């Protein structure tokens, strides 16, 4: 461990007298060890397995080079899964930020009614996603679902919402967004609170319309909140798992699988641990890339605003 | 009384949003209170009192045992998370050397590692070290995956505390380590509350890890029990609804009582540091 190489920094003489501050770095040593054992080491192992034909339980397996990765980009099911994951990630991010900002603008003034509305909108975010999935199943199911009761009331024809795979992917995206929009809302509310009141007043005095004020004052001032909310939503959406298991189990076939649920099926269902780990590596690379790109773009925007 | 059209529009939008958000909870409640033979719409509130669903869910999904498991895991994981997270954040907030900044980024960036990416190798490791179906096994994974957020929140908060506190304590003859544990740690209460509550909810609701590492009936957490119960009783949805409601009550109660800590935890990132 390179723990002792930052003592060159000059501190007040008191500090120097009482022993090196670098000794304090021992305090994060347990976390470093934990991360190496439970994140770094399994990750490296995973990369190794991704080049093999391991079935998940045998003692022997052999290296098959890049074949797992090639299968990923030629197999029809895999391409669907990758596409779904991107929809879950980017779609959720789009919805959660649009509606999160909308709700925050709607509820920015503090009143008892607004406080109650905020509480209600954030409430789903603390309920298990699995349970949220079940609740939406009660609403969407074909026979006796709450939605179909309403449709039938208006003499419509009952819909089997979860039978169509393409619709299901968007329904799942919608449910995930519905559940976690409160997170974005609270981040935006905090950001809005931080905008100095004088800015708004100055814009009003200059005769700016509410829309102009929003575009030229509010939005740029919210840049740090946008960055945080977008990154959190992306990470959450791209990892989507629980709600898919609860509602469609990834089906019909693999049509609504995300990379996460697909990996589970490959490992426990098809005993294809090699391909499962390759998928895991792909997911990591995808999330990292998308997050880093989003982060860089948003930070650049933040800096541009500061000038 | 004259009505302002803008205000009217705003209020109607508000009520529409609020009704939409109330619907899932309302449907969960009515479904959980209905007799199996009651085929009325889920929108209709039952006109009778019927609580057998809760008893059935409690018995058949082994919710008693599951809640015990959840509680043990939650308490151990939170204790470990708070001690490790706060301790790790202290040097990162106070001695910002180049190396420590790298460590900080490494810790916080771990947030993006998808649990499923390391699942297969971790599963193999867990089988080898006999960590399957053990409390300590799942606790260590839960703690690892909650640490990035905890360290992020603690480091930010410690940064706002005046450095003079540390220096005065050092002058009084405290060692560097006891400065943290005796002087600073008690001051971290508000952020500790945020960490405990937000991570607590995540750990309580965890399904992804528990379903892989806690498969024995005796060791199942409530989400795993409920998922098994649902696939076995897909035609008894009122039982599933009752079980879901029972499993959500602890987090809903925590949230309603301690809301400000959720808000302050989430807001921390939105304000530019």
Does residue A104 share a domain with residue A224?
A: yes
Please give the pLDDT value at position A102: 93
Query: Which residues in chain A are contacts of B12 at CB distance < 8 A?
Result: none
Q: Domain-by-domain residue ranges, chain B? A: 51-267
* Integer-rounded Cα radius of gyration of chain B: 23
B253-261 long-range Cβ contacts below 8 angstroms, 24+ apart: B254/A126, B254/B197, B254/B200, B254/B201, B255/A122, B255/A123, B255/A126, B255/B201, B256/A119, B258/B193, B258/B197, B259/A119, B261/B190, B261/B193, B261/B194, B261/B197, B261/B198
d(CA B14, CA A129): 25
Shortest CA distance from A180: residue in chain B = B21
- For residues A132 and A31, membership in a common domain is answered with no
The whole domain housing A79 covers: 66-306
Are A24 and B88 an interchain contact pair (Cβ–Cβ within 8 Å)? no
Question: Residue B207 has which token pair?
Answer: 């399904």
- The larger pLDDT score, comparing residue A163 to residue A106, is at A106
Inter-CA distances, B82 with B11, B87, B148, Å? 42, 8, 12
Q: What is the pTM of this model?
A: 0.87
- Please indicate, yes or no, if residue A139 is contained in any of the structural domains: yes
* Tally of domains in chain A: 2
Based on the fold, state whether residues A83 and A34 are members of the same structural domain. Answer: no
- Is A86 contained in some domain? yes
| CATH number for the domain whose boundaries are B51-267 | 1.10.3720.10
Residues A29 and A77 in one domain: no
Say yes or no: A94 and A121 in one domain: yes
Does the N-terminal peptide bond of residue B33 adopt cis geometry, omega within 30 degrees of 0? no
CA distance A131 to B32: 13
Residue A14 covered by a domain: yes
Q: How many CB atoms lie within 10 A of CB A41?
A: 15
Q: What is the pLDDT of residue B164?
A: 83
Residues of A in contact with B144 (CB under 8 A): 34-35, 38-39
Residue A248, pLDDT above cutoff 80: yes
Look up tokens 């959190």; give the residue. A232
Q: Do B167 and A267 touch (CB under 8 A)?
A: no
Give the angle subtended at the CA of A215 by the CAs of A211 and A220, to the nearest 5°: 150
- Tell me: pLDDT of A190 over 70: yes
Residues A228 and A151 grouped into a single domain: yes
Judgement on whether residues A86 and A174 belong to the same structural domain of the protein? yes
Within 168-227 of B, beta carbons closer than 8 Å to A belong to: 170-171, 175-177, 180, 201, 204-205, 207-208, 223, 226-227
Distance (Å, rounded) from C-alpha B64 to C-alpha B221? 10
Is the domain of A134 the same as that of A228? yes
Give dist(CA A102, CA A287) in Å, integer: 26
Give the pLDDT score at A144: 74
Same domain, A78 and A213: yes
Average pLDDT per consecutive 10 residues, chain B (273 residues; last block may be shorter): 76 90 91 78 76 83 88 94 92 87 90 85 89 91 93 88 83 81 86 89 90 86 88 81 90 87 72 46
Q: Report the CATH number that the domain containing residue A192 is assigned in CATH.
A: 1.10.3720.10
E strands, B91-173, are none
Q: List, as ranges, residues 23-62 from B with C-beta within 8 Å of A.
A: 23-25, 27-28, 31, 39, 41-43
Domain-located, residue A60: no
Q: Are residues A102 and A15 in the same domain?
A: no
A22 and A127 belong to one structural domain: no
- Same-domain check for residues A21 and A145: no
φ/ψ of residue A66, rounded to 5: -90, 10
Confidence of residue A307 (pLDDT cuts 50, 70, 90): low
Q: Which of A35, A132, A194 lies closest to B144 in CB terms?
A: A35
């Amino acid at each position: 461990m390179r723990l002792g190489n930052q003592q060159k920094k000059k501190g007040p003489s008191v500090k120097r007298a009482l022993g090196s501050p670098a000794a304090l770095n021992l305090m994060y040593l347990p976390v470093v060890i934990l991360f190496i054992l439970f994140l770094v080491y399994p990750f490296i192992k995973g990369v190794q397995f991704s080049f093999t034909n391991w079935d998940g339980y045998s003692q022997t397996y052999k290296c098959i080079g890049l074949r797992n990765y090639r299968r990923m980009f030629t197999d029809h099911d895999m391409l669907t899964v990758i596409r779904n994951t991107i929809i879950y990630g980017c779609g959720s991010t789009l919805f959660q930020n649009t509606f999160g900002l909308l709700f925050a603008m709607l509820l920015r003034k503090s009143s008892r009614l607004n406080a109650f509305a905020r509480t209600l909108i954030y409430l789903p975010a603390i309920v298990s996603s699995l349970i949220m999935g079940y609740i939406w199943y009660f609403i969407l199911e074909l026979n006796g679902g709450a939605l179909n009761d309403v449709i039938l009331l208006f003499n419509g024809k009952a819909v089997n919402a979860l039978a169509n795979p393409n619709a299901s992917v968007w329904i799942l995206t919608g449910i995930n967004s519905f559940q976690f929009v409160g997170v974005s809302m609270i981040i935006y509310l905090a950001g809005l609170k931080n905008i100095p009141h004088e800015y708004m007043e100055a814009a009003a005095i200059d005769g700016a319309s509410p829309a102009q004020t929003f575009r030229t004052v509010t939005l740029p001032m919210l840049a740090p909140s946008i960055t945080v909310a977008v990154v959190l939503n992306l990470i959450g959406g791209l990892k989507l798992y629980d709600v898919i298991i609860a509602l469609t189990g990834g089906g019909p076939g693999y049509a609504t699988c995300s990379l996460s649920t697909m990996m589970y099926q490959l490992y426990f269902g098809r005993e294809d641990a090699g391909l499962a780990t390759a998928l895991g590596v792909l997911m990591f690379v995808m999330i990292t890339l998308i997050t880093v790109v989003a982060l860089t773009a948003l930070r650049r925007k933040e800096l541009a605003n500061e000038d | 009384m004259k009505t302002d059209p803008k205000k009217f529009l705003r209020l109607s939008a508000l009520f529409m949003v609020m009704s939409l958000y109330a619907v899932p909870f309302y449907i969960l409640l009515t479904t959980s209170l209905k007799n199996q033979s009651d085929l009325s719409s889920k929108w209709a509130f039952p006109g009778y009192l019927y609580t057998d669903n809760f008893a059935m869910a409690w018995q058949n999904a082994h919710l008693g045992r599951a809640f015990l498991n959840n509680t043990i895991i939650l308490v151990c994981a939170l204790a470990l998370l708070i001690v490790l997270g706060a301790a790790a954040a202290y040097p990162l907030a106070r001695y910002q050397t180049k190396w420590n900044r790298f460590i900080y980024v490494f810790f916080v960036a771990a947030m993006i590692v998808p649990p499923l990416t390391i699942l297969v190798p971790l599963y193999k490791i867990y089988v080898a070290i006999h960590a399957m179906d053990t409390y300590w096994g799942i606790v260590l994974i839960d703690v690892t995956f909650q640490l990035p957020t905890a360290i992020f929140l603690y480091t930010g908060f410690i940064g706002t505390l005046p450095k003079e506190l540390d220096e005065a304590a050092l002058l009084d003859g405290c060692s560097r380590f006891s400065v943290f544990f005796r002087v600073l740690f008690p001051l971290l209460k508000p952020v500790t509350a945020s960490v405990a509550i937000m991570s607590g909810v995540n750990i309580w609701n965890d399904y992804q890890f528990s379903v892989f590492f806690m498969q024995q009936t005796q060791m199942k957490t409530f989400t795993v029990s409920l998922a098994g119960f649902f696939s076995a009783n897909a035609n008894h949805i009122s039982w599933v609804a009752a079980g879901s409601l029972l499993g959500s009550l602890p987090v809903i109660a925590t949230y309603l009582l301690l809301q400000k800590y959720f808000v302050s935890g989430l807001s921390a990132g939105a304000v530019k540091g």
